[in-house]
Amino acid sequence: MACSLTIRFSNFTSFEEAARVVASSKKPLTAEDCMTVLVESIVDRLADILENLGRTIDTISHDIFQVGPHSQGRKGNELKKMLKRIGRCGDVASAIRDSLAGLDRICNFITENGKRPLAPVLQGQWGIINRDITSLTDFVSQKNVKVQFLLDAILGFVSIEQNTSVNILTAVSLSGIIPTLIAGIYGMNFKNMPELQWAYGYYYCLGLIVASILLPLWWFWYKGWFGNKL
């Protein structure tokens, strides 16, 4: 009784699927037949993973560029989570690309450097496998480009958030300079200060300080330093 041995460190869906196909075959399969079934199963599995990866990348892209009330002023934690999701997608895409490169070498070796020529039926199957590998390689390259684009977009949003924080700190610090100057001037206790003799001088000074705080803040908000205007 012929058997096929595989060396692997865990259970893989593609190997289990290939084993079911071989076991359900009504005719005895040669080593070339078993290898063809196994590689076809691996390629199909990689295609399914790539399809799921494409949907995940599209979801992340929608989350990044969505326009709505919740898309403004994203918090750092949200951007960090998106960055991790993009990183995981990049890792998966790189692993798939490496797997496809190995399968491409296997395909070329079997079809061109085999010890004996393949049967016409197997030649057709390996031709289909070769075309599938080529198309999947192009697809994963496209997804790698999309991952890099999303990574750059996320880093751009992080930079925008940092600039917004710096603008807010700058605006707040500048808004405190004029009130401090006013309070320092009227706290000098000079003799010839007409405002000290005013009946409402204290309230005048408080109002001037409040106005010197609010007016710069309003100006910075109007210029968009605090993000989009309401």
165: in domain: no
Q: Say yes or no: 206 and 95 in one domain.
A: no
* Tokens linked to 175: 């808004």
Number of domains forming the structure of the chain:
2
Comparison of pLDDT for 62 and 72, the residue scoring more = 62
- From CA 95, how far away is CA 106, in angstroms rounded? 17
CATH number of domain containing 97: 1.20.58.340
43: in domain: yes
0.85 surpassed by pTM: no
Give the pLDDT confidence of 166-205 residue by residue, as tens digits. 877 877 787 788 888 888 877 777 777 777 777 777 788 8
Q: Say yes or no: 21 and 50 in one domain.
A: yes
Average pLDDT (132-142) is 94
Range of the domain at 202: 176-230
**In contact, 86 and 151? CB cutoff 8 Å:** yes
Read off the pLDDT band of 141 (50, 70, 90): very high
**Phi, psi torsion values for 177, nearest 5 degrees:** -75, -50
Q: Say yes or no: 131 and 193 in one domain.
A: no
2: in domain: no
Helix axes 31-65, 76-112, angle to 10 degrees: 160
